[in-house]
């Protein structure tokens, strides 16, 4: 660790303000000399600000678990972030692109925790159900560009997520075709194999990495395993669907321009 508590709190406040004002900020964590541990401390302080405003912790997310995402973002290390209830968009629900800086969507697989998870717990014991999901990511950095500490500090670009209908654990999760559709057209396609070879490994990595920050998955929490494909910009009016063969679909739509709460 190189950052003191005050400096970490200051960076968290700047990222929080960028999100709330929908105004991109310069990359700041790397510039401040933050290492990975510092960046997770900034992330914790950032999410703590949301919790202090009344939001509730509802899960964790993995990021950069696929080569498609690593290549798109130029960062090749698995990262994790925190989800709150304010980010939860019901399946089939809507978002207002004006609430974000430069939103993108990506297809994901979600896991539901059967219980509070201890390091070493087996996937089959810890996970009650699986679902197709969408993540809306929105980097708070200009041009959606960042270094590893920057994206970790920015809560791994977490902005919103939608979980489709929960399903019992299927026999195999390792190679299910995945599609991202916009207005009925397939814009990205891949396979759950892109997620660390098998999305179950994303669970193991989440448990291992979050434990380093003293964070444990809780009963009833959601874990997003990470996108199987690159992310695509979300335009006003777009209807978005993630299709995971054998699991089903998750969908959301963006309100038309000017139709939102403003």
Residue 134 to residues 125, 158, 162, 232: CA-CA distances in angstroms?
A: 25, 12, 5, 11
Binding mask 65-104 for ligand OOG (x = CB under 6 A): x---x---x-------------------------------
User: 9: closest CA among 26, 22, 28?
Assistant: 28
Q: Which is nearer to Mg ion, 29 or 64 (CB)?
A: 64
Contact 111, 219 (CB under 8 A): no
Between CA 77 and CA 80 the distance in angstroms is 10
To which H or E segment does residue 174 belong?
Answer: none
Q: Is 16 in the site for Mg ion (CB under 5 A)?
A: no
Taking the CA atoms of the chain, what radius of gyration do you get in angstroms? 17
Q: Is 192 in the site for ligand OOG (CB under 6 A)?
A: no
Site for ligand OOG in 12-51 (CB under 6 A): none
Q: Which of 16, 106, 188, 205 binds ligand OOG (CB under 6 A)?
A: 106
The whole-angstrom distance between residue 250's C-alpha and the CA centroid of its chain comes to 15
Query: Do β-strands 57-63 and 222-224 pair in parallel, antiparallel, or remain unpaired?
Result: parallel
HSE, CB side, 13 Å, CA atoms: give it for residue 90: 2
Site for Mg ion in 114-153 (CB under 5 A): 135
205 binds, among ligand OOG, Mg ion, none (CB under 5 to 8 A by kind): none
Q: Which is nearer to ligand OOG, 115 or 251 (CB)?
A: 251
Q: Which of 34, 64, 87, 126 binds ligand OOG (CB under 6 A)?
A: 64
In the complex, minimum distance from the CB of residue 68 to ligand OOG, in angstroms, rounded to a whole number: 9
Site for ligand OOG in 114-173 (CB under 6 A): 135, 137, 139, 151, 156-157
Footprint on this chain of Mg ion (rule: CB under 5 A): 135, 227
């Amino acid at each position: 660790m190189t950052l003191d508590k005050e400096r970490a709190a200051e960076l968290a406040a700047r990222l929080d303000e960028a999100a709330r004002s929908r105004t991109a900020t310069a990359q700041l964590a790397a510039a401040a000399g933050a290492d990975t541990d510092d960046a997770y401390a900034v992330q914790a302080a950032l999410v703590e600000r949301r919790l202090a405003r009344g939001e509730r912790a509802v899960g964790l997310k993995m990021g950069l678990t696929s080569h498609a995402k690593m290549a798109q973002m130029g960062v090749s290390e698995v990262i994790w972030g925190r989800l709150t209830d304010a980010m939860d968009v019901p399946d089939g629900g809507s978002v207002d692109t004006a609430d974000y800086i430069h939103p993108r969507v990506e297809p994901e697989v979600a896991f539901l925790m059967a219980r509070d998870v201890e390091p070493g717990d087996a996937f089959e014991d810890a996970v009650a159900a699986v679902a197709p999901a969408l993540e809306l990511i929105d980097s708070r950095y200009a041009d959606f560009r960042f270094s590893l500490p920057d994206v970790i500090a920015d809560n791994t670009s977490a902005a919103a997520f939608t979980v489709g209908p929960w399903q019992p654990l299927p026999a195999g999760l390792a190679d299910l075709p995945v599609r991202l559709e916009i207005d009925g057209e397939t814009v990205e396609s891949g396979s759950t194999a892109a997620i660390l070879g098998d999305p179950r490994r994303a669970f193991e990595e989440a448990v291992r990495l979050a434990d380093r920050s003293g964070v444990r998955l809780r009963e009833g929490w959601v874990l997003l395993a990470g996108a199987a494909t690159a992310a695509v910009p979300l335009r006003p009016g777009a209807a978005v669907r993630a299709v995971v063969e054998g699991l089903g679909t998750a969908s959301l739509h963006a309100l038309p321009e000017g139709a939102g709460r403003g």
